């Protein structure tokens, strides 16, 4: 596929500095410095690569002022990162297979309804009283229990399992082998040490524009009037665990292998690194950020903090303590020598 | 659905203080203070909510003495938590779909036998020489290899995969996409740095009343006379890894994303938080508890310890050290000022 | 099954010391000391068990010199560990079911080709333009998208999901419910805090002799000319996350629940323990080893280091600091007493 800079600029609302009829065929990363194609400069730490680029064109921000001229044409946009995502989406449309129709064999409950342009792959098993919107794509080997609602344009990838009463909004993506709505991990301990399962009668509600990575698990809430809630725009990576009765605020982002224990409420626009663990029954304020492997063990009241370590600390404090942790052996020696000096002073008195 | 207090009390062996014909329709949490319904007071830290409750009835323990009277009726029971689990189970029975029969298309080996009231969902694939008990429910897209045994009343949720020779007891639940009996992670390193797979010829034995959460993995043992063993009553959450030749003692509870490395023996009634990691080839004593993200790196001999941190420490010791870790920068400053003072003393001598 | 020592020795290129016609039936572990069978001594820390063994025969290394004679026959080989893996493989061959043919119902795209002795299980769904080599085994409920290549002798276990354009080499094993080629976790943040998905147009390349454990996830690369690459001989355990654009060097070994963030390059012959986390956009040198739960947060330039802790340190340094961490309360007390002594000195001056 080939596009002119003019075509590209019109897609991303950009201004061309150079030849609008120039043809480009593929995207390259600015730091890789491959000849030809179109590249972009979003993060200014990559600016040195800009001056050496062999690409035919570079997407830059409106405000960017090059320190010297380069051979490549420029396309100026408001936000290069968003522009690139837009372009890649256009490219993806061209290369993407359109799936429509019901493959056989598959099982769909007689009372289940679905909209236009739906795809249901072979070996999918869908229960009764489900409502499936327009343009929903359900891939092979998906299992959906009764009374599930899936909004328009949502995609359920191969092998995902969705338990009863789950509500999924519009434009959501659940990747392969995701499990939504499994039993919360709730047991009552009887006198003899045996754990009796507490029935989990609630559901999971996933709002619009949510993405859930492969093999992640989201448990349903305990009581019948309760929900585990993933708010609009939340992005969840692979192998993430969300326990029963958790609520995750709008546009929060959770990296792979993180886990959130039961009944915890996460604020909006939070960002959690990989393998972060968050204790149960706490609240985490809006815009909290946590580095990889952080353990958030108690409520975070102040919004916008950057956290690190287990148990969590403000990242600046944590890094200071960690720096000293590294030189503890030297510190211990120093204390020993102070002790000795002091003993000498006392002895000679 | 509506129940009288009399009906409820008879289910949980309770004594009513109030009108036995009062009707309630749903469960509520005492801290949520919604009007109507029935609630319960199990953990006394919620006692303040008891005095403000708008619920119609409250389940309390026999010994509970309210500090002031409330409008709601009371039902007194031995253990409110267990009573609630019992009630929720009754409620669940009413709302649960009963699945019986063999859906088509599905494949079941000709030599495989199964009991009464079995459900086998469409797209399930069951091998030869399996023995499936009464009232077993096998959901769609499950794969079961040859020579697997599943005891009465066990439930294998959608997409679970069970390798050959696995033995599963009665009243077990394996949630969606669980994998039981995959190859242990065993390789022999040859001179040239290449790893050759060591065949894994053992199996997995899961005793009665075991629960295994979605997307968890349990590997089979290495030698043909060995088993990875999950003892009676063990409860395992989602995304947990149990390696080959591990044994987990009765009634132990393992939270999400925890992992246990090969050949480790876990005692009875242990409780491990989320993301706990346990090294291979060690023993962990009965009733050991470990906080989230703890790394147990060597054997724990003494039963009943509460552990925290990586490598694990007794939680009290760990919290003490962590408290000082947080003020290491201040401690370092103090040492520097002591050093200076001492230098001054020595200089002025 | 029974084998003579002669048969066994010929399989593993060994020399017999004892009766070559002796029959053995099963493998036992030397530390378990069960009577009969054949055992082996690979790790010399088990040597004490050698002198008490009740096994009929022991496989030992050519160089091993027993400190006293034992009743058992010996088979001497170059590398006992590799010899045992070879024997177990032979044993496995006898006990393994050979699966050949296309089970129905299954769906295979008309343009997809496959070699001899292929197995495709029921409820598998394979797209168009795939190339499947000789002797490839694809188990039930596998989903393979378009344009996937799978080399000779590779095995795709039940429920695995493989996205389009993935290339898998020869003699690979993907265990149950693995997901290869899902979307990388890439989003562009727009002004209003909403994350827009960045299309992920690359693929995953898995070279020969790679093993990937159950429920692990490997994401595809971002740009259409990029790949996430798993080099020859890499062994990956269960529930491991490999993000987009990662490259893992030859013969590296990654234990369960470890995770590697985007664009990171891992060297050859690295070994990572369980739950290790590795940050994105870094390089980790050849032969790096990391203990369980280590967090590698920045590039590791020097090859062959052994690391531990979060953030990672050389293991020796980490253990020294950890030892002092454990006695921080005592250290703090000592500092307090030094302070007091010093104050006394100054006061009495």
Chain B residue closest in CA terms to A344: B346
Instruction: Report phi then psi at C144, rounded to 5.
Output: -130, 125
pLDDT band at B1 (very low <50, low <70, confident <90, very high): low
Whether ipTM exceeds 0.95: no
Chain A residue closest in CA terms to B347: A345
| Yes or no, beta carbons of C182 and A157 under 8 Å apart | yes
The dihedral over CA atoms of B313, B319, B320, B324, expressed in degrees to the nearest 10, equals: 110
Choose, out of B104, B125, B283, B308, the residue to mutate when testing the contact with C (most C CBs < 10 Å).
B125
The dihedral over CA atoms of C46, C52, C53, C56, expressed in degrees to the nearest 10, equals: 140
d(CA B297, CA B279): 5
Tokens 């030849």 correspond to what residue? A19
Rg (CA), chain B: 27
**pLDDT at residue C72, as a whole number:** 93
Question: CB contact, 8 Å: B292 with chain A?
Answer: yes
Instruction: Report phi then psi at C315, rounded to 5.
Output: -60, -40
Which residues from A are below 8 Å from B88, CB to CB?
A: 198-199, 201
Which residues from A are below 8 Å from C195, CB to CB?
A: 233, 235, 251, 253
CA distance C78 to chain B (A): 10
Query: Around B159, how many Cα atoms within 13 Å sit in the side-chain half-sphere?
Result: 41
**pLDDT at residue A42, as a whole number:** 87
Which residues from B are below 8 Å from A326, CB to CB?
A: none
- What percent of chain C stands above pLDDT 70? 99
User: Model confidence over B78-108: pLDDT tens digits?
Assistant: 999 889 888 888 888 888 899 999 999 999 9
Active site residues of B: 244
Once rounded to an integer, what is the mean pLDDT over residues B301-306?
A: 98
Asked whether C87 and C106 are in contact (CB, 8 A), the reply is: no
Whole-model pTM over 0.90: yes
DSSP C105: S
Choose, out of B99, B121, B176, the residue to mutate when testing the contact with A (most A CBs < 10 Å).
B176
SS3 content of chain C, % helix, strand, coil (to 5): 20, 30, 55
Interface of B with C in 8-37 (CB under 8 A): none
**pLDDT at residue A188, as a whole number:** 85
* Continuous segment of H or E residues that includes residue B9: helix B5-11
**pLDDT at residue B287, as a whole number:** 97
Asked whether B305 and B289 are in contact (CB, 8 A), the reply is: yes
DSSP C59: E
**CA angle at residue C159 from B197 to B238, to 5 degrees?**
90
Dihedral sign, Cα of residue C32, residue C33, residue C38, residue C44 = positive
Pairing mode, strands C143-144 and C161-162: parallel
d(CA B72, CA B54): 7
Which residues from B are below 8 Å from A158, CB to CB?
A: none
**pLDDT at residue B94, as a whole number:** 80
Chain B residue closest in CA terms to C27: B223
pLDDT band at C28 (very low <50, low <70, confident <90, very high): confident
DSSP letters along A135-160, please?
Answer: T-EE-TT-EE-TT-EE-TT-EE-TT-
Which residues from C are below 8 Å from B241, CB to CB?
A: 237-239, 256-257, 274
Instruction: Report phi then psi at C107, rounded to 5.
Output: -120, 125
Asked whether A201 and B88 are in contact (CB, 8 A), the reply is: yes
pLDDT band at C1 (very low <50, low <70, confident <90, very high): low
* Total H helices, total E strands in chain A: 5, 39
Asked whether B178 and B217 are in contact (CB, 8 A), the reply is: yes
| Chains linked to C by 3 or more Cβ pairs within 8 Å | A, B
Question: CB contact, 8 Å: B101 with chain C?
Answer: no
Which residues from A are below 8 Å from C246, CB to CB?
A: none
Choose, out of C85, C287, C327, C344, the residue to mutate when testing the contact with B (most B CBs < 10 Å).
C85
Once rounded to an integer, what is the mean pLDDT over residues B244-273?
A: 98
Per-10-residue mean pLDDT, chain A, length 349: 89 94 88 84 90 93 92 94 88 88 98 97 98 98 98 98 98 98 90 84 97 98 93 98 98 98 98 98 98 98 98 98 97 93 84
Once rounded to an integer, what is the mean pLDDT over residues B205-230?
A: 96
Rg (CA), chain C: 27
**Residue from B330, C300, C329, C313 nearest A326 by CA:** C313
CA distance A151 to chain B (A): 23
Q: Which two tokens stand for residue C169?
A: 């080499």
| Yes or no, beta carbons of A188 and B103 under 8 Å apart | no
d(CA A220, CA A181): 4
Asked whether C52 and B247 are in contact (CB, 8 A), the reply is: no
For chain C, what's the residue count? Answer: 349
Tokens 């797979």 correspond to what residue? B197
For residue A188, give the nearest of B81, B159, B268 by CB distance: B81
**pLDDT at residue A327, as a whole number:** 95
Q: Which two tokens stand for residue C102?
A: 């296309």
Burial class of residue C1 in the structure, from the number of CB atoms within 10 Å of its CB (0-12 exposed, 13-18 middle, 19+ buried): exposed
Selecting among C125, C157, C209, C244, the annotated active-site residue is C244
Asked whether C238 and B182 are in contact (CB, 8 A), the reply is: yes
d(CA B319, CA B308): 8
d(CA C216, CA A162): 20
């Amino acid at each position: 596929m080939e596009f002119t800079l003019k075509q590209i600029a019109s897609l991303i609302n950009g201004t061309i500095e150079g030849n609008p009829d120039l043809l480009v065929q593929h995207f390259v990363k600015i730091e890789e410095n491959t000849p030809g194609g179109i590249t972009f400069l979003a993060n200014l730490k990559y600016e040195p690569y800009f001056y050496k680029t062999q690409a035919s064109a570079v997407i830059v921000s409106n405000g960017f002022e090059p320190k010297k001229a380069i051979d490549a044409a420029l396309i100026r946009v408001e936000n290069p990162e968003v522009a690139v995502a837009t372009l890649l989406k256009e490219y993806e449309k061209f290369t993407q297979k359109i799936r429509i129709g019901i493959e056989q064999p598959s099982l769909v409950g007689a009372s289940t309804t679905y909209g236009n342009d739906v795809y249901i792959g072979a070996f999918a098993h869908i229960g009764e009283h489900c409502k499936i919107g327009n343009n929903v794509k359900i891939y092979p080997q998906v299992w959906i229990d009764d009374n599930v609602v899936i909004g328009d344009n949502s995609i359920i990838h191969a092998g995902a399992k969705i338990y009863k009463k789950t509500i999924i909004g519009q434009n959501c993506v659940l990747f392969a082998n995701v499990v939504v709505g499994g039993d919360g991990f709730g047991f009552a301990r009887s006198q003899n040490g045996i754990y009796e399962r507490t029935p989990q009668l609630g559901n999971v509600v996933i709002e619009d524009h949510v993405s859930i990575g492969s093999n992640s698990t989201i448990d349903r809430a305990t009581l019948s009037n309760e929900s585990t809630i993933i708010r609009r725009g939340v992005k969840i990576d692979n192998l993430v665990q969300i326990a029963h009765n958790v609520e995750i605020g709008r546009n929060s982002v959770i990296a792979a292998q993180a886990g959130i224990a039961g009944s915890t409420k996460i604020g909006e626009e939070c960002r959690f690194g990989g393998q972060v663990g968050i204790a149960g029954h706490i609240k985490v304020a809006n815009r909290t950020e946590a580095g990889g492997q952080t353990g958030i063990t108690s409520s975070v009241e102040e919004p916008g903090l950057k956290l690190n370590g287990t148990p969590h600390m403000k990242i600046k404090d944590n890094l200071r303590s960690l720096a000293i942790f590294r030189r503890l052996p030297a510190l211990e020696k120093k204390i020993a020598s102070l002790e000795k000096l002091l003993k000498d002073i006392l002895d000679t008195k």
